[in-house]
Structure 1
Amino acid sequence: MVWMSRVVYRKYGNFVDNLRLYVKGGSGGMGLPRLGGQGGKGGDVWVVTKEAVTLKKVKDKHPQKRILAGAGVNSSVRALKGDKGEDQLIFAPPGIVVTSDDQKVLGELNGVGEKVLVARGGHGGTFHTGYLPSRGQARHIRLDLKLIADVGLVGFPNAGKSSLLTKLSHAKPHIASYPFTTLRPELGKIVYPDYRQISMADLPGLIEGAHVNKGMGHKFLKHVERTRQLVFVVDVCGFQLSPKTPFRSAFETVQLLIKELELYNEELLSKPALLVVNKMDLTDTELKLKELLGQLQDPEGFYHTLPKDMVPRHSVTFKDVLPVSAATGLGVEELKTCIRHTLEQEAAMESKELCRERLQALRVAAQPPKLRDPPVCADTLGLTRNSTS
């Protein structure tokens, strides 16, 4: 048992999804008073996204967690304007949110090659500063990885998310029968016959109280924010984390998942969602599925059976409810088709809304300015009065 816990700790320790660094721009170079020379500007510190980079690699490359840019070159007789100091680039994976210690967002980097300035270099000495340079900007920054995927699998431990990801894609996550098998997000690609690809993330299982950071809490929930569509995965037979925790039926599991997302960030419930009822290969599952479907048709009518703290303020209307078996492959192809259809439908709606907004902006820009009464000059009024008299 001790050996197992050590293995699990080492595996999770290799995954880093947030990192705090000290960054400092280079100081400017000295000016040359005798000849009016200008010192070089200090180097800047940038965060740049790059493929095949992880925050673990960033941490290993900078064990001291200090990144300092080069100082500007002093002005001299041979070069009155000093050269700029060397910039420092922090390569990070796409899907990074860069914040300062006061929670100010410095930038969100989603695509490869995007960059954000995190520490500006100091100015070189000039006549206006008495030829004295300024120091570079210094601050602590946080690199927070929020996974970017088209689809995110949401569910409690042992709901079968990893098995489902294996059936849908070429990903090979670790699969076992004990809770918290998945300790880090796993990404896979669903490849269709026409070579269309959809990225899917198997997110670590959450537990009751995840919104207040119990279990993996915010480490799980923050990744949900960066997915376009949610796929709720529940065990048709219900769920129980341990003998010390209460048993939850499939309907209770769905409502509890909705409640956890709602308490963390209500905006997550606005994402398009599918419900996958897994493990349909077990016995007596047809009756349980029928009961669940009846409860989902009128969830408010069954809220009285739930504890008060489990009742969500907002219900989720699933675009589709699909019974599947990750073990036998039942319903997997239908799920792949449904995921693609709902994503394309959502993209079409977003494109239509964008076109409508642009058309409205063009119409407003094309409208002539409103005609107003011309201003009346006081001299004109005087002349008018004189002529009348």
Structure 2
Amino acid sequence: MVWISRACWRKYGNFVDNLRLHVRGGSGGMGLPRLGGQGGNGGDVWVVAKQDLTLKRIKDRYPLKRFVAGVGSNSSIRALKGAKGNDVQVSAPVGISIITDEGRMLGELNHEGDKVLVARGGNGGSLHSGFLPSKGQIRQIRLDLRLIADLGLVGFPNAGKSSLLTALSHATPQIASYPFTTLRPEIGKIMYEDHKQVSVADLPGLIEGAHVNKGMGHKFLKHVERTKQLLFVVDVCGFQLASNTPFRSAFEAVQLLTKELELYKEELLAKPAILVVNKMDLPEAEEKLRELETQMENQEELSQLLPEDMIPGSFYHFKHIVPISAQTGLGLSSLKALIRRSLEEQEAMKTESQRSEKLKELRKEVPAIPKPTWGQPQSAWEP
């Protein structure tokens, strides 16, 4: 067991999900007083989204983690308007939030080609500045990876999330019969016959206390924030993380998962979720499933029998409970169809909500027609 722990630590140590960089815009060029010449502006530093890139690769390629843009050219007799300094572009993975050391959000990279200005170059010297240039911005920024996926698989270690992702998509995460096999986020794509694609993130397994950063803690939970929906994955027969930890039934696993999400960020419970009950190929699985379904119908009452620190403040009322076996393929076709339908319903609701908001805004812009006053001629109040 000790050997496994050390191997897991080494592998996780190679995964980088945040990176601190020093960025500086270029200084402006000198102006030319006797001819009124203007120096060129300094170059800017941009962060640009690029597919198939990792923060680990950036860290290895640029060990100093310093990015400085070019200086603007001085004004001269040959070129009264100095040339702008060269911009610097820092490539970063899709799914990055860019934050200053002071906590100010500079922007997000959600799609390939998205770019965010992180350090502006200084102005060139001109008449207004006494022909003296200004320096560029200097910042310490953090690139924080928060995955973007349609679905996030949420479950305790060894619930079968990696096996499910492999069965649903073309991803090939590491799978083994011991906890903490998944030590870094994995993204897979569910492909449909009409070429529709749905992205699914298999995230490192939670443990009790993740909200206070136990285990992988916040390294896991922050990735949940940028998924549209959640797939709770539980072992129908329950689980036990280690010999010195208590056994948890499938019902207890659901409540603990809900509690961890709630304590980390309560807004996460507003995400639509599907409950996936895995390992239905095991003996007594049908009996355990019926027991779980009954418990979920009465979870508020039954939760009172649990220890107080396991009871969430609010409960997930799953619209769908789907029994599957990632190992044998049982129920996977139904789950795939349900996932797509759920996402399409969410998108339709979002579109309708946006349309309603737009109508409200338009109504506010239309001036109200004054009501007629008795005794006034009709022409006085007609629009």
TM-score under structure 1 length normalisation? 0.92
Query: Counterpart amino acid of 1:121?
Result: G
Deviation at 1:194, TM superposition (A): 1.7
Higher mean C-alpha displacement, 151-160 vs 107-116: 107-116
Q: Tell me the residue number matched to 1:60.
A: 60
Deviation digits for residues 139-190 of structure 1, max 9, x if unmatched? 1000011101111100000000000111111111110011100001111111
Alignment of 1:202-351 (within 5 A): 202-351=202-351
Q: Tell me the residue number matched to 1:71.
A: 71
Deviation at 1:223, TM superposition (A): 0.6
Segments of structure 2 that go 5 or more residues without pairing to the other structure are 374-383
> Matched residues in 2 for 1:255 and 1:337: separation?
26
Q: Tell me the residue number matched to 1:151.
A: 151
Cα distance 1:192–1:104, how it changes in 2: closer, same or farther (>3 A)? same
Query: Counterpart amino acid of 1:239?
Result: F
Query: Counterpart amino acid of 2:134?
Result: S
Structure 2 residue 38 is the aligned partner of structure 1 residue 38: yes
> Matched residues in 2 for 1:214 and 1:10: separation?
18
> Matched residues in 1 for 2:318 and 2:220: separation?
21
Structure 2 residue 16 is the aligned partner of structure 1 residue 16: yes
User: Secondary structure of 2:107's partner?
Assistant: strand
> Matched residues in 2 for 1:300 and 1:368: separation?
49
Deviation at 1:217, TM superposition (A): 0.6
Cα distance 1:3–1:214, how it changes in 2: closer, same or farther (>3 A)? closer
> Matched residues in 1 for 2:296 and 2:112: separation?
41
> Matched residues in 2 for 1:115 and 1:327: separation?
42
User: Secondary structure of 1:327's partner?
Assistant: coil
User: Secondary structure of 2:343's partner?
Assistant: helix
Deviation digits for residues 78-134 of structure 1, max 9, x if unmatched? 111111111111111111110000111111121111111111111111122221111
Deviation digits for residues 176-221 of structure 1, max 9, x if unmatched? 0111000011111111122211111111101011111111111100
> Matched residues in 1 for 2:92 and 2:349: separation?
32
Deviation digits for residues 252-307 of structure 1, max 9, x if unmatched? 11000000000011111011100011111111122211111111001111122211
Segments of structure 1 that go 5 or more residues without pairing to the other structure are 374-389
Deviation at 1:362, TM superposition (A): 2.3
Higher mean C-alpha displacement, 190-199 vs 4-13: 4-13
How well do the aligned residues superpose, as a CA RMSD in angstroms? Answer: 1.8
Q: Tell me the residue number matched to 2:119.
A: 119
> Matched residues in 2 for 1:230 and 1:4: separation?
29
> Matched residues in 2 for 1:335 and 1:352: separation?
26
Cα distance 1:92–1:213, how it changes in 2: closer, same or farther (>3 A)? same
Higher mean C-alpha displacement, 259-268 vs 107-116: 107-116
User: Secondary structure of 1:67's partner?
Assistant: strand
> Matched residues in 1 for 2:371 and 2:292: separation?
63
> Matched residues in 2 for 1:59 and 1:2: separation?
29
Q: Tell me the residue number matched to 1:384.
A: none
Report how many residues are paired: 373
Q: Tell me the residue number matched to 1:352.
A: 352
User: Secondary structure of 1:317's partner?
Assistant: coil
Query: Counterpart amino acid of 2:205?
Result: G
> Matched residues in 2 for 1:135 and 1:307: separation?
60
State the identity as a percent.
66
Cα distance 1:369–1:45, how it changes in 2: closer, same or farther (>3 A)? farther
Deviation at 1:5, TM superposition (A): 5.2
Q: Tell me the residue number matched to 1:382.
A: none
Alignment of 1:352-371 (within 5 A): 352-368=352-368
Structure 2 residue 176 is the aligned partner of structure 1 residue 176: yes
Q: Tell me the residue number matched to 1:383.
A: none
Cα distance 1:2–1:71, how it changes in 2: closer, same or farther (>3 A)? farther
> Matched residues in 1 for 2:288 and 2:315: separation?
21
> Matched residues in 2 for 1:367 and 1:274: separation?
46
User: Secondary structure of 1:34's partner?
Assistant: helix
User: Secondary structure of 2:163's partner?
Assistant: helix
Q: Please say which structure displays the higher CA radius of gyration.
A: 1
Query: Counterpart amino acid of 2:108?
Result: E
